[in-house]
Chains A and B, each alone.
Chain A
Amino acid sequence: MARIGVFICHCGENISATVDCPKVAETAYKIPGVVFSTDYKYMCSDPGQTKIKEAIKEHNLTGVVVSACSPRMHEPTFRKACAEAGLNPFLCEMANIREHCSWVHEKSEETTEKASDLVRTQVEKVKRNHALESIKVPVNKTAVVIGGGVAGIQASLDIANAGHKVVLVERDPSIGGHMAQLSETFPTLDCSQCILTPRMVEVAQHPNITMMTYSEVESLDGFIGNFKVKVRKKAKSVDEKLCTGCGLCTTKCPTKKIPNEFEQGMAMRPAIYVPFPQAVPNKPVIDRVNCKFFTSGKCKVCQKLCPTGAINYEQEDELVELEAGAVVLATGFDVLKTTYFPEYGYGKYKDVINGLQFERMASASGPTHGEIRRPSDGTIPEKVVFLACAGSRDPAKGISYCSKICCMYTAKHTMLYKHKVHSGTPYVFYMDIRAAGKSYDEFTRRAIEEDGAKYIRGRVSTIYEKDGKLIVKGADTLLGGKPVEIEADMVVLATAGVANHGAESLAQKLHVSYDNHHFFAEAHPKLKPVETNTAGIFLAGACQAPKDIPESVSAASGAAAKVIGLFSKSELTREPVVAKVNRTPAPPFSSCMGCFMCKEICPYQAIDKEEIKDRAGNVVKVVAHINPGLCQGCGTCVAFCRSKSIDMEGYTNEQVFAEVEALLNNS
């Protein structure tokens, strides 16, 4: 016999100002099966919860309906209270008489009636609820970190130092990302590689971290605590165990004129190469697309010269399957190339470069050994014009957001330039100066007040080349939009930060949401910045949105903390609201016909085939089976099944129809 308790909440005045709560409680008491009914000001408070617990014990309740706010707010609260009183938590339901009633209607009799109707539907449902047990899922305490930039490095170290295993997957031949390309970092002007390379080495040497470079994620299956990640280790054509990193092969390779990705096209590299001198691992890879042997069958110089015989042209890609409990996405970002700007020459002027190219120029290990020189003729530029907001905050070009870091690195660039070319004049065309971090504003002021950077507020309409100089046509809006024309020796465009190439396809492989700019979507913009909507996959760094180094590192540590928290449990509990294929006595065993249409339409690949065997071990029937660990309770298969063999625990067809009929029968 059902013994249901109904608890009507006033929610302060949120509900009681519009709904006559005592009347609702009174009406509820008359419903067959209800043995207890009351109303109270704050059901979710301590005394409120105590009321529920006491009522459960006193009246031997078999089910509880709390009519209050949305279950998204307090379902866990009330279910926990019931559990503490000894009642299975899934025998507790909430009727939403706030968001669905008091907050959307005016005070009237009908509003109170509607509240009563809502209560009645939940009472009818709860009468048919079954006690359910949470599903326990084991947790694999290995994390896969995708992306080996500073965010990926930080996350890997944090997780590894907490005692868990980490596999760091990086698609380039070396870890380090963009930070390894920078010369000095703001606001301290620290040498970027000097602070990063020790961390890179730490990652390589850490006993808990396995580094997989020149590797890419092929696919991801599974669910939180139990992911299966397939990684393709691209063939380096070099046996890392034999290679000593002597570099002889890179000096003798006959194909020398390949634009160097690390140097952003400002220098060339050979076909067998190490991306940069401080690369980790410091072993070369062969670029098979451009290697003479792989394109035409001739050469093999590197193999002949290698003192340890480490070159192996037959090496093949290796597909590795990893098992992990959590995934951290740290795939970083990219910046627009100068080709993106028609009004600045479509990238055809050699002396118009972007910020990242300027970093390589300013870097001591760069193509000019840290000297600022014009790419066209190698002379030292006396006038350099920096354009902030090149492509950012530009809806006409499709990028309406601010790329956050450019104001700071442009100020930095003017300082680096001035420190190296004392007689030079840096100009900056800007719209605003966004320097909100710690010591950031002081840094930009230093560029203007001490290092002589000439800031002009206005955007540049066009740049063209005349007699070896670049004519920059801008305006000074602080002087009414007065046109300003500068004959520059070099122009640096602070181009917009964009999602790294391949972000969209990776997000689709991982079933992670992304926005229209292909930045990965956080679960909540304010309260969950390092989580995604996919349980167990976390975000770190600029792959979520443009950010500077301190923010990337913070996010990485935040993501690592989430992973470590996840790994602190030996098993995970999942809500048992999952679909189930019915089982009946023999001979049918199940009304499932084995059509497996449900398997095709399940968005979570949670349905597989199950063989039903007789005592002799012969397969009698093959029916659908839903993996409770993967099922997200969406209900698609329940609606779809043609033989009505699937039902949803916690929202059975019987329960849902009871709700509907409760509404219809009383009108």
Chain B
Amino acid sequence: MPSFLVRSASRARTLLELLQHLLKRRRFFMIPLVLVLLLAGVLLLLSEGLSYVAPFVYTIF
């Protein structure tokens, strides 16, 4: 499992590529929009990406 730094650098690169893409396509208004959404997504991070944990039991509720 790569280190936290490596993973962060990787994701930073992805963000940069996303930015470059939106600039190339001239979707300027989407850039601040995406940034706001990503900030909201920090909440997602806190819940660890919201990956669904199957209960593996015979749940009723």
Mutual binders A and B: no
B contact set with A: CB distance below 8 Å: none
A contact set with B: CB distance below 8 Å: none
